[in-house]
Amino acid sequence: MKDRAFEKKYEAARKEYRYYGVDTDRALRRLRKISLSVHCWQADDVTGFEIRKTRDACVSDIRPTGDFPGKPRNIRELRRDLEKTLTLIPGRHRISLHAIYGDFGRRAVDRDEIGIEHFRSWTDWAKRLDIGLDFNATCFNHPMVRDGYTLSSVKKEVREFWIEHVRRCRRIAAFFGRELKTPCLHNLWIPDGAKDITVFRHRHRQLLRESLDRIYAQRFPASQIVDSLESKLFGIGSEYYQVGSHEFYLGYAMKNKLIPCLDLGHFHPTESVADKISGILPFFKGLVIHVSRGVRWDSDHVVILDDELENLTAEIVRADALERVYLALDFFDATLNRIAAYVIGVRALLKALLIALMMPDAGLQALEKTGNKAAFLARHESLKNLPWGAIWDYYCLKNNVPTDREWIPGL
């Protein structure tokens, strides 16, 4: 009876969309092909499983807030939570790991020592679930973040440490790609920058360029690894500037045939990442979007279905770039149930994609060509009343996951 009720609602919604020339069945087929990269670090507040060799002071560049009970204490519990999360999200998706999530056992392994052997159990797990893995070098929260710098440090021993770390991470990423038969996205972000006025800005960027040249000198087949560089405007302890700025990485990526990564929280609050899509894609083979939600600053709040997210997915669909844009989640909030945070965020992104796939752009384009701005804006606003929620419920039903009102914890 329940299934039939959802199917009846879907049929009514499908007829409504058909009036605007939209094939909802086709939209659902396209949505089913999209594989999001779900980040592992929401599950445990970006803690990881490292055992430190020394008790040197650690510079904290990532600061989740909250202490909600139930945080996984080991790899087994982390994987359990990730598996549960995937059962509540329609579609087939990937898991993104940071280097601090290796299977280190009880051994202290520093970041310039990590290797494929520490991640074999992850590929075994991924094969069992039939999913892909992505990877990230972890260049933060470590004693070798000296004076706020890593790959761009003026201290050679600091640069050498992090160069070796990222080199090893790329080898691990290529291993994932080979083992799982799907290219592994390896993303690089560094916290380097200055808290206040500096005259060394140019020098640090020269050093970063030299470090990157050495890191990316080793090439891997495109079937194994996709390399991206993630920029940022500012961060805690680097309010004045960040070495890896948008402009720096955009130029470096273009010259070296890498792809840029845009994080929704890494720009000025009044900047639109959606607007950057059509400005960047014509010049790159691909693009990575880290889907997050900044509240006044890069605070990595749980993603919700807001205007910014809808604008972003609409631009990707309008550019016919679903196969060129890698969508990866990146938020962490320890003030609420961590699995619920995953489900809220990932489902919000999928909903935004569904809305974008069902947007009757042909009709809007025809109106825009007439120059009748009032008619265009009125039609654009009226489309917000379309019954996309019934389509979403049907999609969940057909993917054997609970609808929104069924999965919510505690209700």
45, 179, 300, 310: the catalytic one is 300
Task: Please tell me whether residues 44 and 144 are part of one structural domain.
Answer: yes
pLDDT band at 48 (very low <50, low <70, confident <90, very high): very high
297 is catalytic: no
pLDDT digits (tens, 9 = 90+) for 140-154: 999 999 999 999 999
Question: Taking residues 361-388, what's their average pLDDT?
Answer: 94
Q: Residue 308 has what pLDDT?
A: 96
Q: Residue 235 has what pLDDT?
A: 87
368 is catalytic: no
266, 276, 351, 393: the catalytic one is 266
Question: Taking residues 160-169, what's their average pLDDT?
Answer: 98
Task: Please tell me whether residues 373 and 271 are part of one structural domain.
Answer: no
Question: Taking residues 60-72, what's their average pLDDT?
Answer: 87
Is the pLDDT confidence value at 55 over 70? no
Task: Please tell me whether residues 366 and 352 are part of one structural domain.
Answer: no
| Listed residue (345, 343, 354, 338) closest to 387, CA to CA | 354
- Rounded (5°) CA angle 367-368-370: 70
Asked if residues 262 and 189 have their Cβ atoms less than 8 Å apart, the reply is no
98, 142, 246, 290: the catalytic one is 290
- Distance, first Cα to last Cα, the chain: 21
Question: Taking residues 376-403, what's their average pLDDT?
Answer: 96
Is the pLDDT confidence value at 92 over 50? yes
122, 125, 162, 189: the catalytic one is 189
Task: Please tell me whether residues 392 and 283 are part of one structural domain.
Answer: no
Q: At what angle do helices 75-86 and 120-129 cross, to 10 degrees?
A: 20
Percent above pLDDT 70 for the chain: 98
300 is catalytic: yes
Say how many CA atoms lie within 13 Å of 319 toward its Cβ: 23
118, 232, 246, 276: the catalytic one is 232
Mean pLDDT, all residues of the chain: 95
Is the pLDDT confidence value at 71 over 60? yes
298 is catalytic: yes
Instruction: Report yes or no on 54 lying in a domain.
Output: yes
Q: How many domains does the chain have?
A: 2
Say how many CA atoms lie within 13 Å of 397 toward its Cβ: 17
Q: Residue 339 has what pLDDT?
A: 96
pLDDT digits (tens, 9 = 90+) for 330-344: 999 999 999 999 999
pTM > 0.85: yes or no: yes
Task: Please tell me whether residues 125 and 154 are part of one structural domain.
Answer: yes
Instruction: Report yes or no on 29 lying in a domain.
Output: no
Instruction: Report yes or no on 27 lying in a domain.
Output: no
pLDDT band at 174 (very low <50, low <70, confident <90, very high): very high
Query: How many whole angstroms separate alpha carbon 15 and alpha carbon 23?
Result: 9
Instruction: Report yes or no on 55 lying in a domain.
Output: yes
210 is catalytic: no
Task: Please tell me whether residues 297 and 387 are part of one structural domain.
Answer: no
Question: Taking residues 109-119, what's their average pLDDT?
Answer: 98
Instruction: Report yes or no on 28 lying in a domain.
Output: no
Query: How many whole angstroms separate alpha carbon 17 and alpha carbon 361?
Result: 12
Task: Please tell me whether residues 352 and 310 are part of one structural domain.
Answer: yes
Task: Please tell me whether residues 306 and 397 are part of one structural domain.
Answer: no
45, 330, 333, 393: the catalytic one is 330
263 is catalytic: yes
Q: Give burial (CB, 10 Å; 0-12/13-18/19+) of 337.
A: middle
Is the pLDDT confidence value at 411 over 50? no
Question: Taking residues 96-113, what's their average pLDDT?
Answer: 97
pLDDT band at 57 (very low <50, low <70, confident <90, very high): low
Is the pLDDT confidence value at 131 over 50? yes
Is the pLDDT confidence value at 410 over 70? no
Task: Please tell me whether residues 156 and 221 are part of one structural domain.
Answer: yes
Task: Please tell me whether residues 335 and 219 are part of one structural domain.
Answer: yes
230 is catalytic: yes
What's the domain range around 369? 1-22+362-411
Question: Taking residues 15-26, what's their average pLDDT?
Answer: 97
Is the pLDDT confidence value at 1 over 60? no
Q: Residue 145 has what pLDDT?
A: 96
Task: Please tell me whether residues 203 and 265 are part of one structural domain.
Answer: yes
Instruction: Report yes or no on 89 lying in a domain.
Output: yes
For tokens 């935004």, the residue is 352
Alpha carbon distances (Å) from 324 to 252, 283, 356 = 19, 12, 16
Alpha carbon distances (Å) from 375 to 22, 50, 252, 355, 369 = 20, 59, 44, 21, 11
Domain boundary among 357, 381, 398: 357
Instruction: Report yes or no on 272 lying in a domain.
Output: yes
192, 298, 315, 393: the catalytic one is 298
pLDDT digits (tens, 9 = 90+) for 201-218: 999 999 999 999 999 999
State the CATH number of the domain containing residue 184.
Answer: 3.20.20.150
- The token pair that represents 347 in the structure block: 């489902």
Task: Please tell me whether residues 336 and 268 are part of one structural domain.
Answer: yes
44, 45, 179, 263: the catalytic one is 263
Q: Residue 64 has what pLDDT?
A: 86
Is the pLDDT confidence value at 67 over 80? yes
Q: Which of 40-44, 208-212, 295-299 is least confident?
A: 295-299
Is the pLDDT confidence value at 239 over 70? yes
